[in-house]
């Protein structure tokens, strides 16, 4: 009998996924463990291996379709068996599929330290009949010119969320909201300010000017969706500091000389920066925070999970090192290299790419001095790291050449104010200038 092939668990709080591409033709013969389907979550694209050997009979699912976790999308059986979900082994899982689920379930859900109310979403003051919406949804609606009256909320008690706004702007028509019966003499509506006209769409590019047209899918599609979401929903502020990294460079050279052979790898700047940032997040826990999904509270997080931006052939991925504040440099470096290896080979697991509480993006190896990275939601901050350059600086009334580094801290002003964020960045700079402080202030 045929074996049902279904979408496995792809991480905490992931209930559905979008089919990106079938990797085998309908009716193709596959081996157990062979990748036959690519699906996309809000974090990344994941290949799904066959949970049995045999001939694949695909269900009525095509690229772009959204399917729920555990939904049967194909069957694998004898050559002439039709697609008949539930007629065979059903939800019996092979080792290949169990491995995906086990890797997805490795990390526990992130507990929050505490929640502080930001505001109580209420009615739009411009119109007493306006529906309830989260602050994030209200801000997005105002920026994108979306009429909240035309949207029914999917949140608690019918509250409109940012997902409802994104759905409305993606061209999917939302159901009409339920309206309360109007009184015989409704109060006059307050005048609303004129909404600016939407910009005219750009004219299509002439065919003779197009070298190649590549469909927007996979990791590129995720990036193109998440980056504007971050820009439109956060109150971004950037702080820039130039720091003397001479002692950090010296420390790294000493570590390479002493431990590269024994550890099997040379400790790098990324691991050192992750340890320094983790120390700062412990000293200044208000930076290890995020705005709640409803937009009405700040969540201060217990785990210190550092996301590290990684360049891969598939595009930008953010791998997550968990509990950085509890790990030594050797374990941290080995884990980081494993994560990067899986990301670049396309073998990353769902939890490799989720759960970060703060992000680091290092472009120093590309001769970039400074840049303004985009916050990786739902985190509230990201640290951009430029290249280390020898520069003449004044030190003890003398001009000397020091190895200077530029840091860019981008944070969400809804979660933290400028002065506290500056104190956090100053702490990071102090440890970079004198790395011994890392060991004096560590737990």
Q: Of the residues 258, 366, 413, 427, which is catalytic?
A: 413
Half-sphere exposure of 353 (CA within 13 A, CB side): 26
Strand duo 306-312 + 358-362: pairing: parallel
Between CA 159 and CA 224 the distance in angstroms is 26
413 catalytically annotated: yes
Q: Contact 241/406 with Cβ under 8 angstroms?
A: yes
- 3-state helix/strand/coil string of the chain: CCEEEECCCCCCCCCEEEEEEECCCCCCEECCCCEEEEEECCCCEEEEECCCCEEEEECCCCCCCEEECCCEEEEEECCCCCCCCCCCCCCCCCHHHHHHHHHHCCCCCCCEEEEEECCCCCCCCCCCCCCCECHHHHHHHHHHCCCHHHCCCCCHHHCECHHHHHHHHCCCCCCCCCCCCCCCCCCCCCCCCCCCCCCCCCCCCCHHHCCCCCCCCHHHHHHHHHHHHHHHHCCEEEEEEEEECHHHHHHHHHHHHHHHHHHCCCCCHHHHHHHHHHHHHHHCHHHCEEECCCCCEEEEECCCCEEEEEEECCEEEEEEECCHHHCCHHHHHHHHHHHHHHHHHCCCCHHHHCCCCEEEEECHHHCCCCCCCCCCCCCCEEEEEEEEEEEEEEECCEEEEEEEEEEEEEEECCCCCHHHHHHHHHHHHHHHHCCHHHHHHCC
Which positions are annotated as active-site residues? Answer: 413
């Amino acid at each position: 009998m045929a074996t049902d092939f279904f979408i496995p668990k792809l991480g905490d709080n992931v209930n559905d996924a979008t089919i990106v591409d079938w990797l085998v033709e309908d009716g193709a013969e596959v081996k157990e463990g062979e990748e036959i389907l690519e699906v996309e979550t809000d974090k990344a694209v994941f290949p799904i291996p066959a949970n049995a050997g045999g001939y694949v009979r695909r269900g009525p699912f095509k690229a772009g379709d959204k399917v729920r976790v555990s939904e049967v999308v194909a069957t694998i059986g004898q050559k002439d068996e039709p697609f008949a979900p539930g007629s065979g082994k059903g939800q019996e899982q092979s080792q290949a599929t169990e491995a995906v689920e086990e890797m997805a379930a490795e990390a526990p859900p992130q507990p929050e330290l505490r929640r502080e109310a930001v505001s109580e979403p209420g009615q739009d003051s411009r119109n007493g009949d306006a529906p309830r919406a989260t602050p994030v949804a209200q801000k997005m609606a105002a920026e994108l010119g979306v009429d909240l009256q035309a949207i029914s909320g999917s949140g608690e008690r019918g509250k409109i969320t940012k997902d409802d706004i994104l759905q409305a702007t993606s061209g999917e028509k939302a159901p009409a909201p339920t309206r309360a019966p109007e009184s015989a003499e409704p109060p006059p509506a307050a005048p609303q300010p004129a909404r600016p006209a939407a910009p005219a769409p750009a004219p299509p590019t002439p065919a003779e000017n197009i070298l190649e047209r590549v469909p927007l899918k996979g990791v590129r599609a995720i990036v193109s969706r998440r980056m504007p979401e971050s820009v439109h929903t956060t109150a971004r502020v950037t702080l820039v500091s130039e720091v003397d990294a001479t002692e950090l460079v010296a420390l790294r050279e000493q570590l390479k000389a002493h431990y590269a052979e024994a550890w099997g790898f040379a400790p790098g700047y990324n691991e050192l920066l992750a340890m320094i940032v983790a120390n700062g997040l412990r000293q200044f826990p208000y930076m290890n925070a995020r705005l709640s999904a409803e937009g009405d509270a700040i969540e201060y997080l217990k785990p210190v999970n550092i996301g590290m931006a990684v360049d891969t052939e598939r595009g930008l991925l953010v791998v997550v090192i968990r509990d950085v504040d509890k790990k030594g440099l050797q374990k941290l470096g080995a884990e980081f290299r494993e994560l990067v290896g899986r990301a670049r080979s396309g073998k990353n697991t769902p939890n490799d790419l989720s759960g970060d509480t703060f992000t680091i993006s290092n472009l120093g190896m590309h001769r970039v001095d400074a840049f303004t990275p985009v916050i990786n939601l739902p985190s509230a901050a990201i640290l951009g790291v430029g290249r280390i350059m020898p520069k003449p600086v004044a030190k003890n009334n003398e001009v000397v050449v020091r190895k200077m580094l530029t840091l860019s801290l981008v944070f969400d002003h809804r979660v933290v104010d400028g002065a506290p964020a500056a104190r956090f960045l100053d702490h990071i700079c102090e440890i970079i200038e004198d790395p011994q402080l890392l060991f004096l202030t560590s737990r």
